[in-house]
Amino acid sequence: METLARELKMPNWYEVPDDFELPDYKDGMNYLVNGEILSWRGEGIEVRSPLLFQDGAQIKVPLIGSYPGLDEAEALRALRAAERAYGGGAGKWPQMTTEQRIEALKGFVWRMRPLERQFALLQMWETAKPYRSCLDEFKRTMKYIEDTITHLYLLEEESSGISKAENYIYQVRRCPLGICLCMGPFNYPLNETFALAIPALIMGNTVIIKPPRYGALCTIPLLDAFARSLPAGVVNVINGHGPVIIPPIMKTGKIAVLGFTGSTGAARQIANAHPANNRLRTILGLEAKNPAFVFADADLDVAVKECINGALEFNGQRCTAIKHILVEEKIADHFLARLSAEVEKVKCGLPWEEGVTITALAETNKSEWLGELIQDALAHGAHIVNPSGGQVSGNLFHPTVIYPVTGEMKIWSVEQFGPVIPVSSFAGFDQIANYMIHSEHGQQASVFTTSAANASSMIDLLVNQVSRVNLNAQCRRSPDELPFTGRKDSAEGTLSVIDALRSFSIRSLVVANEQGRELFFRTLESGQSRFLKI
């Protein structure tokens, strides 16, 4: 049986470029409650970089800083602040006009913009994400906020008219739901978190943000922008051990919306702590096992490039990553040879290096876990296809192609969330249908073919199994205007710029029959109502 190679040379600590030196970050113990930036005096949780270095005869694990290990009392204090700010829907923030909330968010964007480099450096050291990708995440988040504001204006325009049904006149607008708990993932700690929190805020809800365990520090510089832009208690940012601070909040039953990106098991635990599930709306981005299907007539230049990009971007640590390739068996050997050759060209290294794709894995012990998945596959008859597959340098795991992957192997169904590319072959459409129907996941799929007949059959199968079918392209979330959701254990609720605004709000309407019509129009003409207006 093959074994995994280890013991590769680590980079030298003294060769870190000046522009990317470890930030001397002292504010990690800060958190935001009721409009105040507080400094936690209790337990701190150390943040060490996944980037390992040779420092003389020692291995250096850089300490970036610490973040608060808040307790139950502080978590509930944040909840009370959010509750006061919402005021049962009568608080200052939910009672503001849409224009007033938009102006407040514009102020936040203005204060946030200068923090781009600080965010990117902290995120790079915390998660080993390539520096350029960290900058891209910041820019994409800024654009997302601006697009959200634009789409809210459009939504307001659509709601400004008066409609008629039978003998009734009415106006429908969207209103907030209450207190929202937003929890994003480590791979996109800013973008994914804000894709939940920003639409929640702009629709008039109050928010509690719990940053991810990995990536907890890089969002702390934004606390001041929140505190100076929004009324007290409207947004609260708390850090700590999730099992300590999240269940007490949920058990109160006061959370109206849970926005969460992470594992299915964790989402169930959090949601089940709520005493009244009928009063909890959930918007969940969960596990995925996105397959790519490569047919014999596919353009292999396109298929190989897209599969590699889809499987290995940010080490494959993306829910939308391609996590299983199934290739038509008549071209399997040729495809594998092409795939292996191109995987060997993928640049592995440090996150500040130009063109780097593979960097250190962010999660503790992730290399060991991936190694176990590979060893299980090898024990059941698979082999490592590419020469550098399975090699490890500290927390850097070289991309590994394994074939043939079959149903008895763990990696057939388990989401690896790392740079391991399982490849299987198929003989016909029935095998594909059986695979998809019995999968526990249903986020996206990619189809590589030049045949309209193949594309038609695959589309008609896949649209009832996944939420998005990508033709001759990798799986991805963008552009943000498109619906982002999933079936089965992959998601609950839908996010896009416009869908998120709907997800964090509810339609309310004012209706008048013949007896109320005169009052309806007098109220409208008075301009005194923030809801009933044109």
Question: Which among 455, 402, 444 is positioned nearest to 294, based on CA atoms?
Answer: 455
Q: Beta strand 392-393 with 400-403: parallel, antiparallel or unpaired?
A: unpaired
Max alpha carbon distance in the chain (Å)?
87
Q: Is the pLDDT of residue 8 over 70?
A: no
SS3 track for 292-328:
EEECCCCCHHHHHHHHHHHHHHHHHCCCCCEEEEEEE
pLDDT at 254 over 70: yes
Element holding 496 (H helix, E strand): none
C-alpha span between 194 and 201 (Å, rounded): 10
**Beta strand pairing call for 53-55 and 58-60:** antiparallel
Per-residue CA distances from 491 to 43, 195, 271, 286 (Å): 34, 15, 14, 5
Cα separation of 202 and 121, whole Å?
A: 28
> Do the bridges between strand 383-384 and strand 400-403 make them parallel or antiparallel, or are there none, so unpaired?
antiparallel
Q: Which domains does the chain have, with CATH numbers?
A: 30-285 (3.40.605.10), 290-486 (3.40.309.10)
Q: What are phi and psi of 384, to 5 degrees?
A: -80, 125
End-to-end CA distance of the chain: 73
Give the residue-averaged pLDDT of 255-284: 96
The tokens for 181 are: 């708990």
Report d(CA 213, CA 199) in Å as an integer.
23
Quote the pTM value.
Answer: 0.95
Strand partners, 396: 360, 393
DSSP 241: -
Write the DSSP symbol of residue 348. B
Adjacent-strand bridge partners of 283 = 259
Q: Which residues contact 296 (CB under 8 A, 6 or more apart)?
A: 328, 330, 331
Q: Residue 181: beta bridge partners?
A: 208, 258
Q: Encode pLDDT of 485-513 as tens digits.
A: 999 999 998 888 999 999 999 999 999 99
Q: pLDDT for 367-390, tens place per residue?
A: 999 999 999 999 999 999 999 999
pLDDT digits (tens, 9 = 90+) for 450-476: 999 999 999 999 999 999 999 999 999
Rounded average pLDDT over 103-128:
97
Task: In whole angstroms, give the CA distance from residue 492 to residue 300.
Answer: 34
AA letter at 470:
N
pLDDT in tens, 60-104: 999 999 999 999 999 999 999 999 999 999 999 999 999 999 999
Task: Tokens for 67, please give them.
Answer: 């973040």
pLDDT for 159 equals: 84
Q: How far apart are the C-alpha atoms of 199 and 283, rounded to whole Å?
A: 12
Distance CA(515)–CA(269), nearest Å, equals 50
Residue 57: pLDDT band (50, 70, 90) is confident
pLDDT above 90 as % of the chain? 91
User: Count of residues for the chain?
Assistant: 534
Asked if pLDDT for residue 284 goes beyond 60, the answer is yes
The H or E element spanning position 255 is strand 255-261
The H helix count followed by the E strand count for the chain is 16, 26
Q: What is the C-alpha to C-alpha distance for residues 338 and 386, in angstroms, rounded to an integer?
A: 10
Instruction: Give yes or no for residue 6 having a pLDDT over 60.
Output: no
From CA 82, how far away is CA 38, in angstroms rounded? 16
Tell the burial category of 160 from Cβ atoms under 10 Å away from its Cβ (0-12, 13-18, 19+).
Answer: exposed
Quote the pLDDT of residue 455. Answer: 98
From the list 207, 202, 183, the residue with the least C-alpha distance to 255 is 207
Spell out the alpha helix ranges (H) of 184-331: 191-202, 223-229, 242-251, 264-272, 300-312
- Alpha helices, DSSP H, located in 406-531: 429-437, 452-462, 497-503, 517-526
Q: How far apart are alpha carbons 446 and 448 in whole angstroms?
A: 7
Residue 117: is its pLDDT beyond 80?
A: yes
> What distance in Å separates the CA atoms of residue 235 and residue 346, rounded to the nearest whole number?
41
Residues of the chain by 3-state class (helix, strand, coil), percent to 5: 40, 20, 35
Is the pLDDT assigned to residue 182 strictly greater than 80?
A: yes
